[in-house]
Chain A
């Protein structure tokens, strides 16, 4: 009787959680379930590249919404166009508030970054899907994109000479030139640490939230195991709300940090910050 209960608990545990033994367990998604029940090569291929599959579906979702919202652009907008205009204008205000009116050129990249990361974080809450940002591969890819974009902006706005001069700490007098062997390695190291911290922050937060939800799903199933129920109590519900809040905050922090790194690369003229 006891081992029957233990076997039932184990079976429901395995069905609810992904059955990978290394690292933190998250809830199973449709690719994991397909991979468990079929032994074909397509399922294996999908399981190997499951983060890419989910990131691509997030990207296709965004492309689809943008396509349908802008099919007939009218002065009096349809509800979908209105919602999208709200999102784009808020992002525009946010980023030009930090970068000044010249920052308009950088809104497409950073705005898309925010929406893409937001959709990916929320995908972890949909049953049957996984947040691709809960894997280090996705977040490092995003951070590498940001790294190359920011360095490209530095070279484009300052020129090669100005770019290297910026790295040496803009030496103008003798003291500046003496400090160059200190400034240059530190600055270069800082440029590499920035994307590392971006990726680890996003990865750690989203993986932590998804593992928390998985742990509480297991607890909910365990709590009703005395009546051998296949469904458990929905103990994970408060963590859905927490995950939505923290996912939004993490997307916002990623975008704002990217914007701040861009503003550090731009020539240090007077940027308007609303000084009266």
Chain B
């Protein structure tokens, strides 16, 4: 097995795992934000701002994984 084969096999799996993990994390964050909005609808703006910032943090981890994949896939062939 050459390293190109190994990369071609594992890079898509890496992206899939990163996306899956981020989906789990984001679902928890956004679900709790929705619940908080339901409890106090007048705080909608503040909760939305805090939710967006939290989602950007979680998304950043997925972006790290995507970055690694994108840098490595240039080395295939």
Contact = CB atoms under 8 A, between A and B. Distances in A.
A256 B64 contact: no
A23 B52 CA distance: 30
Contacts of A22: 74
Contact of A200 (B56, B59, B64, B71): B64
Interface in A141-176: none
Q: Indicate the size class of the contact surface on chain B.
A: 10 to 19
B52 to A, nearest CB: 6
Contacts, number: 39
Contacts of B53: 252-253, 256
Contacts of B63: 200-201, 204-205, 208
A204 B71 CA distance: 11
Contacts of A205: 59-60, 63
A204 B63 CA distance: 6
Interface in B13-48: none
B48 to A, nearest CB: 12
Contacts of A60: none
Interface string B53-69: 10011011001101100
A23 B56 contact: no
Given A200-B64, A201-B63, A253 B56 contact: yes
Interface of B: 52-53, 56-57, 59-60, 63-64, 66-67, 70-71, 74
